[in-house]
Amino acid sequence: MNDRILITGGAGFIGANLAAALAKRPGVDVVVLDDFSHAGWKNLIPVDCEVRAGSVADAALHEEIARGAFSAILHQGAISDTTVRDERRMLEINTNAFADMLAASAAGGARMVYASSAATYGNAPAPNRVGGVETPANIYGFSKLAMDRIARRWFDRHPGVIVGLRYFNVYGPGETHKGRTASMILQLYQQIKAGNRPRLFKYGEQKRDFVYIRDVIAANLAALEAPRSGVCNVGSGRARTFNDIIANLERLLGRKLDVEYFDNPYDFYQNHTEADIGPTTELLGWTPAWSLEDGMKEYIELLESGFDGPVEAADGAGA
């Protein structure tokens, strides 16, 4: 009997990339759930999986999980727009629904791998360590921190393994549908291709831990085999500036770019994120394989070729 793996938010950027990777595995049936409010359904065209429209808050879904319908859950479904200010809605979808899913997965014996976020750290000093300074600066970051705290309360009571993955700044194929919440790498590329000056907050020296989608896929697959529960960072382990992104784009596109710097209107903006990935390697046996230069090179080449689906589908097409 095949393993059935549920991917919530499976039509989104990370979810669709995970679905494409798992659908290639023999003996695995992938079930994608998404409410399709901000999803990229075209990402699923090359993915042979069961697709459902629905919410992570649906009681019928929780009942199905509790009956043991899935061997594992990759829970990516969430409100991920960090500018959303509706606190109740954010917590209902991100936190309350997760608590219900954990209870259901405990009853059904399903392993739970879920998406947390580097937003849990806010502007805490880098490098960012799980269990260190965690001071989220917006309701999105708080909802993810609340998820991690709920998960920890289940570690000793859950018959299976629970792994939380705090994603840092993920970029790569399959994110175009995200619009203004897509990675800055894609947004800057699109500005340039539209004939506009790339725009950055003054003066482009803010630092981020940019992690390529292939590394995020590998971390999730490793979490499906983790020997114990835990919350861990998924990043490159190295902070880079937005000016580094511009320098890489200049090299990859073969042109000099004139950057427009402007004032940052967000008081909750993170100025420096950098993942401490030592504990992640210890728990998952995973280390990032893609540098910013290598990840951007593949990504920009795919964008220039017109491809922006799941990266595993690009492999299948011989890209």
Q: In this structure, what CATH number is given to the domain that contains residue 150?
A: 3.40.50.720
Do the domain assignments include residue 75? yes
Range 165-204 burial, b when 16+ CB lie within 10 A, else e: bbbbbbbbbbbbbbeeebbbbbbbbebbeeeeebebbeeb
In the chain, % helix, strand, coil (3-state, to 5) comes to 40, 20, 40
Residue tagged 């999986």 (tokens): 49
**Residue 40: per-residue pLDDT:** 83
The SS3 assignment for 14 reads: helix
Record the tokens describing residue 40, joined without a space. 């990229």
The SS3 assignment for 114 reads: strand
Could you give the CA distance from residue 196 to residue 193 in angstroms, rounded to a whole number?
A: 7
Band the pLDDT of 156: cuts 50, 70, 90. very high
pLDDT in tens, 288-299: 999 999 999 999
**Catalytic one among 121, 140, 167, 212?**
140
Do the domain assignments include residue 45? yes
Distance from chain centroid for Cα 173: 12
140 in catalytic set: yes
Q: What pairing do the DSSP bridges indicate for beta strands 72-75 and 111-117?
A: parallel
Do the domain assignments include residue 88? yes
Q: What are phi and psi of 275, to 5 degrees?
A: -80, 130
Rounded-to-10 torsion of CA 272, 310, 94, 279: -50
Do the domain assignments include residue 310? no
pLDDT in tens, 8-37: 999 999 999 999 999 999 999 999 999 998
Q: Which domain holds residue 7?
A: 3-171+210-237+273-289
Average pLDDT of the chain to the nearest whole number: 95
Asked if residue 310 has pLDDT above 80, the reply is yes
178 in catalytic set: yes
pLDDT (average), residues 290-309: 97
Could you give the CA distance from residue 161 to residue 158 in angstroms, rounded to a whole number?
A: 7
Do the domain assignments include residue 58? yes
Band the pLDDT of 319: cuts 50, 70, 90. very low
Burial tier of 107 (Cβ tally within 10 Å: 0-12, 13-18, 19+): middle
| Contact indicator for 247, 188 with CB cutoff of 8 Å | no
Asked if residue 1 has pLDDT above 60, the reply is no
Count of domains forming the chain: 1
Record the tokens describing residue 22, joined without a space. 């798992």
Could you give the CA distance from residue 156 to residue 55 in angstroms, rounded to a whole number?
A: 28
pLDDT in tens, 244-280: 999 999 999 999 999 999 999 988 788 999 999 999 9
Could you give the CA distance from residue 37 to residue 280 in angstroms, rounded to a whole number?
A: 32
Do the domain assignments include residue 256? no
Do the domain assignments include residue 83? yes
Could you give the CA distance from residue 293 to residue 286 in angstroms, rounded to a whole number?
A: 20
Band the pLDDT of 317: cuts 50, 70, 90. very low
* CA angle (166, 167, 172) in 5-degree steps: 165
Q: What percent of the chain has pLDDT over 70?
A: 98
**Residue 83: per-residue pLDDT:** 80
Residue tagged 């947390």 (tokens): 116
| Contact indicator for 18, 74 with CB cutoff of 8 Å | yes
Q: pTM of this prediction?
A: 0.96
Do the domain assignments include residue 188? no
Band the pLDDT of 242: cuts 50, 70, 90. very high
Record the tokens describing residue 295, joined without a space. 């990840």
Could you give the CA distance from residue 20 to residue 279 in angstroms, rounded to a whole number?
A: 27
